[in-house]
Amino acid sequence: MREWRSVLLAPGATVADAIARIDASAHQIALVVDPHDRLLGVMTDGDVRRAILRGMPMSSPIDEVMNRTPLTAPQGTSDKQLLAMMRRHVVHQMPLVNESNQVVGVALIDDLIGAREKANWVVLMAGGLGTRLRPLTEQTPKPMLALSGKPILESIVENLVAEGFRRIFMSVNYKADMIEEYFGDGGRWGANISYLREGQRLGTAGSLSLMPEAPTLPIVVMNGDLLTHASIANLLDFHVALNSVATMAVREYDLQVPYGVVHIAGERITSIEEKPVQKFLVNAGIYVLSPPALSHVPPRVYFDMPTLFDRLNAAGATTVAFPLREFWLDIGRPEDYDQANIRGK
């Protein structure tokens, strides 16, 4: 069992403290314990993201967010029993406790079954024109622009393979031959890459109708011009845990009003708010779709992902937001590309 005491936190810790422990440890969990190591609650990556969606400040006490009734296993539980429990409850970590509810270890599903390939397919949208990046994209499709000596799309593929994703589809249109010649069948990266060839531009969801067969597991769909440190595996776990039909990664976007905003009641001024900052959640261009969602994609016509989510919501399907707290950058404008190159140096 890996060293686990680094994930322990005292009750006075903050959400920010928990995030630091989660990110620093392979366990991807923080355990809140009393001075005698008795378990009070846990916080996982999913708990953090749900707190972000609720607008919880990172300085909030962890006991306002933590799960006070976590799933645990008694000390001495066999690996076979642990694995069965974790699969049944769709969890990747489980605290082990003794008869006094003191933490004596943390079981990880990867330790029980070994890190393994993920059977979920990934679709990378790489067919856009990159109009806003001209003249850079006049000769090169946007996903093939170089960052730190390699195409943006190659960095995405490498990150996916490192997380266990092997079956990758690339939706291509503009200068598709450059992408196909570079990546081939994907064997150089330990991946199996196929291509969805758009005869005409099909938008961010339309090319899903070109898939050669229907998937049996949730698929990941991602724009091919993104840089992010977010774990796609965590996004997939979040989707499954919430029984979502469609999950959209979102990020916070702050917009500052450059003037003092005047609040009134009738003709009377009630307050003046100087240059307030408005916060929005915006689409981050990464999605997970369960197989039923694909039945809402019309065949071979232009169709965008927001429209798909609108249709699913109208049909009463469960759609959820996954807030990104990690680095994320959309290479959409020349200044974004410059920033990405500076960051990569």
Contacts of 216 (CB under 8 A, 6+ apart): 291
Q: pLDDT digits over 16-52, tens only? A: 888 888 887 777 889 999 999 999 999 988 888 888 8
Contacts of 53 (CB under 8 A, 6+ apart): 321, 323
Q: At which residue do the structure tokens 């006070």 appear?
A: 68
Sequence ranges of the domains in the chain: 5-113, 122-344
CA atoms within 13 A on the CB side of 54: 13
Q: Which residues are catalytic?
A: 275
**Hey, which CATH number is domain 122-344, 3.90.550.10, 3.40.50.720, 3.40.50.300, 3.30.420.40?**
3.90.550.10
How many C-beta atoms lie closer than 10 Å to residue 188's C-beta?
12
Angstrom distance (rounded) from CA 222 to CA 275: 35
Kind and range of the H or E run holding 311: helix 305-314
Q: What is the pTM of this model?
A: 0.78
Fold of 5-113: CBS-domain (3.10.580)
- Asked if domains 5-113 and 122-344 share a fold, the reply is no
Residue 63: predicted pLDDT: 84
Please check the confidence at residue 345 and state whether its pLDDT lies above 50: no
Please check the confidence at residue 65 and state whether its pLDDT lies above 50: yes
Backbone angles phi, psi at 194, to 5 degrees: -125, 170
Q: pLDDT digits over 96-154, tens only? A: 999 999 999 888 887 777 657 789 999 999 877 667 666 666 677 788 888 778 888 99
- Nearest CA to 101 among 26, 31, 11, 7? 31
Q: What is the mean pLDDT of the chain?
A: 87
